[in-house]
Structure 1
Amino acid sequence: MRFNKLDLNLLVALDAMLAERSISKAAERLHLSQSAMSNALARLRDYFDDELLVQVGRKLELTPRAETLKESVRDVLVRVDSAILAQPRFDPAHSDRCFRMVVSDYTSMVLMPHVLALASRQSHTVRFDLLPLLQPPLRELESGEADLLVLPTEYRTPGEHPWEVLFEEQFVCAVWNGGCFAQAERLTAEQYAAAGHVVMQPSGMDAPTRASWLKRRYPGVRRIEVSSFSFAAVPYLVVGTDRIATMHARLARLARKSLPLRVLPAPLPSPAMQQTLQWHKYRTLDPGLVWLRALLQEAVRHMDAELGAAPTGGVSLEQASSK
């Protein structure tokens, strides 16, 4: 199919080459031969009257014209995928769709097992690809590389992409049940401030951002003795020590099932975390994502029933915005 003398199939090739910055990797991604991809690049260069990709040392770099095309081409393809190629209905029992979700290891441990169990009751062919947060999530959402973001409110992408609150989470303190706080009913502010702490801090932050994040997430903490990139690792790192881990309440309840821990109230106030779902504005009516979003809300109820947590899910965008 052509539009203004451009073979629209070439846009798919162009998108892959601009994303991969490699002819061979783009060819592999689209299951084409390298010669076919090279031919596509030649035709695109002729149409746009621009090199698009140029050799710089051992790498291919985008020309200024290619940089301006990159986001526009991706946007066009996402629109086509969501509005034209999307199926009018979604039947999980007969679908082999792969849902790509950006999640933390916390979400992977406390919520995703319930999502997968519920999904398996309806389908043996639907698949899930759980992606880490390694870059600003806006890029993965707008590029179509992720179908859903399951992240705290502060990580959701600003702007016009819709979102809803999935559940709220409180923070508690986990301590080793053989340590100095083993008999405590609660920690005083003085004990909390004087103790050594195990904390989680996201990777990729510069020093000022990291410091402000730690101060906000762990108020009153003075001695950070162990830091980890993983939420799931934190409760393991207090065992055998007198350190304190301030962590998600649901994850602490789950960890207590297999670790010698006591879970105590946090002595200093910490704002609740809102875990949100966010999706691309073009995919609000995607039947598959409508099914998945409802499945996630149901999974929250199953999660809280198992962990004995107070139900906090199901807050709408309008409710969240009015808080």
Structure 2
Amino acid sequence: MHFNKLDLNLLVALDALLIEGSISRAAARVHLSQSAMSNALARLRAFFEDDLLVQVGRTLELTPRAKALKEAVRDVLMRVDSAIAAEPQFDPSRSDRTFQLLVSDYTTVTLMPHLLALARRQSSTVRFQLCPLPHLDQPQRALGRGEADMMVIPRNYCSPDHPVEALFEEEYVCAVWNGSRFARAGAVSKADYEAADHVEVQPSGLGQPTLDTWFLERSGMERRIEVRTFSFIAAPFLVLGTDRIATIQRRLGRMAQQFLPLTILEAPMALPRMAQSVQWHKYRSRDPGLVWLRGLLHQAVEEMDAQPQPALPTSAPSKAPAAAPTSASADRTGKPPRRSR
């Protein structure tokens, strides 16, 4: 098929070249030989009258024209895929589709087991690939490039360019070792919290501080960060044997309590609740498979929260805000501002 004398099959090759910046990796991406990809690049250069990729040292770099084409070509291919390649119906009992989800380790251990159990009841052939979240300064790129079917992330980090559905809200609590002075006291005061050593979670995929860190900094509260980790699920382990405090999600804290000598205490100040959400590409809203998966995610939340939970000691904190701030203190996408140094 041709459009304006361009063989549209070459768009697939161009997309791979622009993403990979390498002839050999682009060839592997679309299952072509290296010589076939080299020939495709020569034809693309002739059509656009531009080198597109130029040798700089030992690497190939995109020309300005190629950089300008990158997102546009991906957008065209996403439109074609969503309009033509997508199946008109989805039957999980007969499908062998693999769904690729971008999730944090927190989501992996709290929500995903329920999603997978629900899916298994309907299908023994559907597969899931759980991948770490990419850098989220520009989260729409992961969806726009077709690198994932969906992302499960806090609402504040979602792209304004693609649809979003709320899944659940999450509160923050303090996780402390059973032998710590805070566990013995059964509460953490605001003064104790400010004076304590802390474990801070800074996921590698987030370009901004997490919501609890951002809120505390915005409130003028400084914590002594003794340990910083990229992993949510590692944080409870890192308080063991110490008087450190890890400010973590309530659901994760209750789960960790089942396996670790931990006490979960209410935070001594009101912290914003995390609005966990799911996001997908705007061209794939009617994809029957993703419609099924979104419904399954909501069912998974119901099952996750239907499990009985133990009551926690309280320190009578004030009522938490209903959601993370999205006012003038955040930018137009609702993202918390970058951490100032």
Alignment TM-score, normalising by the size of structure 2: 0.85
Counterpart Cα distance in 1 of 2:260 and 2:252: 12
Aligned to 2:319: none
Task: Give the aligned residue type for 1:87.
Answer: E
1:216 positional shift? 1.6
Task: Give the aligned residue type for 1:140.
Answer: A
Residues 17-36 of structure 1 mapped to structure 2, 5 A cutoff: 17-36=17-36
Answer yes or no: is the 8 Å Cα contact 1:89–1:287 preserved in 2.
yes
Answer yes or no: is the 8 Å Cα contact 1:141–1:148 preserved in 2.
yes
Query: Which digits, 9 at most, give the CA deviation of each residue in 1:121-180, with x for residues without a partner?
Result: 111221222222232321111111121111001110123x11111000001111111121
Tell me the number of residue pairs that the alignment of Structure 1 and Structure 2 aligns: 307
Answer yes or no: is the 8 Å Cα contact 2:104–2:132 preserved in 1.
yes
Aligned to 2:299: 298
2:125 is aligned with 1:125 = yes
Counterpart Cα distance in 2 of 1:24 and 1:201: 35
Matched position secondary structure for 1:96: coil
Aligned to 1:316: none
Aligned to 2:277: 276
Query: Which digits, 9 at most, give the CA deviation of each residue in 1:206-256, with x for residues without a partner?
Result: 8xx659972425764522111111101000001111111111000000000
Matched position secondary structure for 1:131: strand
Aligned to 2:173: 172
Answer yes or no: is the 8 Å Cα contact 1:150–1:275 preserved in 2.
yes
Stretches of structure 2 lacking an aligned partner (at least 5 in a row): 312-341
Counterpart Cα distance in 1 of 2:115 and 2:103: 13
Matched position secondary structure for 2:184: coil
Change (3 A) 1:26 1:309: farther
Aligned to 1:84: 84
Counterpart Cα distance in 1 of 2:205 and 2:24: 29
Answer yes or no: is the 8 Å Cα contact 1:250–1:309 preserved in 2.
no
Task: Give the aligned residue type for 2:152.
Answer: V
Change (3 A) 1:215 1:156: closer
Aligned to 1:216: 215
Matched position secondary structure for 2:175: strand
Aligned to 2:150: 148
2:46 is aligned with 1:50 = no
Task: Give the aligned residue type for 1:92.
Answer: P
Matched position secondary structure for 1:144: coil
Deviates more, 1:212-221 or 1:110-119: 212-221
Change (3 A) 1:16 1:309: farther
Task: Give the aligned residue type for 1:81.
Answer: D
Counterpart Cα distance in 1 of 2:88 and 2:275: 32
Aligned to 1:315: none
Aligned to 1:318: none
Task: Give the aligned residue type for 1:157.
Answer: S
Alignment TM-score, normalising by the size of structure 1: 0.90
CA RMSD after TM alignment: 2.0
Aligned to 2:75: 75
Counterpart Cα distance in 2 of 1:297 and 1:283: 18
Aligned to 2:328: none
Matched position secondary structure for 1:166: strand
Answer yes or no: is the 8 Å Cα contact 2:133–2:205 preserved in 1.
no
Task: Give the aligned residue type for 2:260.
Answer: L
Query: Which digits, 9 at most, give the CA deviation of each residue in 1:80-124, with x for residues without a partner?
Result: 000111110011111121212111110011011111111111112
Answer yes or no: is the 8 Å Cα contact 1:254–1:307 preserved in 2.
no
Query: Which digits, 9 at most, give the CA deviation of each residue in 1:22-69, with x for residues without a partner?
Result: 110011111111111111111111211221111111111111211111
2:30 is aligned with 1:15 = no
Aligned to 1:101: 101
Question: Alignment identity in percent?
Answer: 62
Answer yes or no: is the 8 Å Cα contact 2:239–2:246 preserved in 1.
yes
1:307 positional shift? 5.4
Task: Give the aligned residue type for 1:232.
Answer: I
Counterpart Cα distance in 2 of 1:10 and 1:170: 49
Answer yes or no: is the 8 Å Cα contact 1:197–1:221 preserved in 2.
no
Aligned to 1:287: 288
Aligned to 1:239: 240
Answer yes or no: is the 8 Å Cα contact 1:174–1:246 preserved in 2.
yes
